[in-house]
Amino acid sequence: MPCLNLSTNVSLEGIDTSSILKEATSIVSKLIGKPEAYVMIGLKDSVPIAFGGTEEPAAYGELVSIGGLTPDVNKNLSAEISTILETKLSVPKSRFFLKFYDTKASYINLLSYLWKMSHCHALVAPTSDGMDPPCKFYATSGVLSRLCHELDAMYCSKSIFLL
């Protein structure tokens, strides 16, 4: 899931942010080769930013993606996103910096796993035959039941003792 977070010292009051988000989503999807349904764009305004010693309009971005990033893709993404910022927010291309993170799926899944673990509880019942104990993840909220069911399927069939 590519995620582009943009911060600028420009106020977004009176700006059509929907068009910025739509254009950025389309560009990230096209250049990285991921479906738009997986692309997330964040846009923060009025962030105190000094670039080159001045507080003239500037922007900073970070893009995290599981694959799809290469030096050529990064160059094209920088050019396309800077064009949007220049056109829509009057941020000169020379005052925009974009940082890229090509990450592994396991890093993203780890965060999801940790979140799930913090919201689910495991019941472990000892067995008299020496077999792995059966366990059951449960949630105190109906909304979390599906997540806990996934954990139950992943871990309760393995030799893991969760207390």
Buried b (16+ CB within 10 A) or exposed e, 20-53: bbebbbebbbebbebeeeebebebebeeebebee
**Nearest to 6, CA basis, from 104, 81, 95:** 81
Tokens of 1: 């899931």
Locus of tokens 């389309």: 26
2, 35, 57, 71: which one is catalytic? 2
Q: 72: which 2 tokens?
A: 């050529």
Report residue 148 CA to chain centroid gap: 22
State phi, psi for 65 to the nearest 5 degrees.
-145, 150
Closest CA to 11 of 91, 98, 92, 95: 91
d(CA 64, CA 98): 11
134 is catalytic: no
Q: Which residues are catalytic?
A: 2
